[in-house]
Amino acid sequence: MKVIICGAGQVGWQIARHLSSERNDVTVVDNNAELVARATDTLDVGGVTGFASYPDVLARAGANDADMIIAATFSDEVNMVTCQVAHSVFSIPRKIARLRAQSYLDVIYSDLYQSDHLPIDVVISPELEVAKTALQQIESPSTFDTEPFLEGKAKLIGIELDEDCPVLHTPLRQLSELFSTLRAVVVGIRRKGRLFTPIADDQLFAGDQIYIILHSEDLSRGLEIFGKTVKKRERIIILGGGNVGLRVARTLEQNGDRIRMKMIEKDRECAERAADALVRTIVLHGDGLDMEMLHEANIGQADAVLALTSDDKTNLLGCARAKAEGVPMTVALVNDPTLTELKDALGIDAFINPRATTVSSILRHIRHGRVKEVYSIGDAEAEVIEAQVLDSSPIAGMKVRDIDFPEGALLGAVQKGDDVIRPDGDTKIEDGDTVVIFCLSGDVAKVETLFQVQVDFF
């Protein structure tokens, strides 16, 4: 597949890294020559320096025979014009654009992106993806990562094991026997910074960060088995009333849950806008790092603090202060991936990386075969792939024990009709089944071949 990626920032670079590692023909376009050089020096990609919306620049990037263009520059308008040029001049069949401005994302203007107006096939919004991730964290307490699969019937969760976890030093094979009715599979373990897929004889140790794919109905029981509380968060403080914070608060209000929220916003105009838009949320104008302001918001009684400002340091310090005041759950929005190593030192429960969520949402639309969902783990270390099995797939009609999965891949769930089951060696994969697979990044291409990969754009 020939792909042009416009924008060589963190998102563009990560997408280029994913696609080039799978032997796709990738060209990166950016008007910053240093960013283009970084991509071409570190990745197996081509590079063109120039403005992505210029037809001559796209022509030099190979737009005449490109299969897809991904417009992920910092400018919404450049991304939109780039897709228009890609369609009108070069007839590129698949066009993806990252858009930030809320006005462009309003449902009432969705007709704007039809082929006879602005021909964009997929619109990706970082703010929407981050808000969705924050809401998922609230729904799954005690996790540092969470993502739904199989239309919400299954979940991927990430939890860190404590010293009092009741199943430490227990082989995974024995866990399956002890909790035979629990529809859950431990698919990944990060130990001392290294992420790997476990085998049946592996044990769990304190400090391990584990990834589990489980049936959504078994979430509470699964968390209890691994020593985590399932108390619902009813008092929430949101630091930051910008696009992300406002969307999270508005969604929580609309859900109808008995959640009491307070929002702290430093900018007066932004705080007034949030106060006008929200009904049941108390909006306070002030600094989220000011202890007097935090006490005014009753920080000591809060069940959770979501730090969703545009400043990483404010989010980190806000969560650290909340932890010092005894808040059981803190979630920080962090753009700089190098700051994630401060998570344990500051006692923060979960990080949200906007770039990682954006990368996941873009990958969802560019994977091969009958791939329905893709979620990127960590710093592009692994992916969780949801895919449908077709009659022509090599694995159709095979039992799990007979499938030649790569070493870095592990099957986490299988949906047969309306039922989601925990697979074992005797599970037969059939035409029409949907599977969820955890896969280290180096084995993604091998996993895709199990589904008789062909480019499936539509």
Q: How far apart are CA 418 and CA 399, in angstroms?
A: 20
> Max Cα separation, the chain?
64
Q: What is the pLDDT of residue 366?
A: 72
Residues with Cβ within 8 Å of 407's Cβ and at least 6 positions away in sequence, in order, are 197, 443
Q: How far apart are CA 198 and CA 204, in angstroms?
A: 10
Joined tokens for residue 17 = 């890294």
Provide the strand spans (E) within 39-181: 46-49, 68-71, 94-98, 122-124, 145-149, 154-160
Q: Is 360 exposed, middle or buried (0-12, 13-18, 19+ CB in 10 A)?
A: buried
Q: Is 357 exposed, middle or buried (0-12, 13-18, 19+ CB in 10 A)?
A: buried
Cα dist from 15 to 26, 206, 244, whole Å: 10, 34, 23
What are 334-353's pLDDT values in tens digits? 988 778 777 777 888 888 88
Cα dist from 66 to 20, 70, 84, 93, 311, whole Å: 15, 11, 15, 8, 37
Q: What is the pLDDT of residue 457?
A: 35
Provide the strand spans (E) within 137-220: 145-149, 154-160, 184-191, 194-196, 209-215
Query: 106 or 238: whose pLDDT is higher?
Result: 238
Pairing between strand 235-239 and 260-265? parallel
The answer to which of 89-98, 138-147, 400-409, 428-437 has the lowest mean pLDDT is 138-147
In the three-class reduction of DSSP (H, G, I as helix; E, B as strand; rest coil), residue 160 is classed as strand
Q: What is the pLDDT of residue 86?
A: 94
Phi first, then psi: what are they for 185, rounded to 5°? -135, 125
Residue 225 banded pLDDT, cuts 50, 70, 90 = very high
Residue 429 banded pLDDT, cuts 50, 70, 90 = very high
Start-end of H helices in 144-259: 172-178, 219-225, 243-254
The closest alpha carbon to 322, from 262, 237, 229, belongs to 237
The closest alpha carbon to 438, from 217, 214, 203, belongs to 214
Q: What is the pLDDT of residue 142?
A: 80
The closest alpha carbon to 68, from 18, 121, 8, belongs to 121
* Domains in the chain, CATH or no CATH each: 2-124 (3.40.50.720), 130-225 (3.30.70.1450), 235-354 (3.40.50.720), 358-449 (3.30.70.1450)
Share of the chain above pLDDT 90, in %: 55
What are 31-78's pLDDT values in tens digits? 999 999 999 999 999 999 999 999 999 999 999 999 999 999 999 999
Q: How far apart are CA 408 and CA 285, in angstroms?
A: 49
Q: How far apart are CA 394 and CA 399, in angstroms?
A: 12
Cα dist from 119 to 5, 95, 110, whole Å: 17, 8, 11
pTM above 0.85, yes or no: no
Cα dihedral: 26, 361, 450, 384 (round 10) = 120
Is pLDDT above 50 for 456?
no
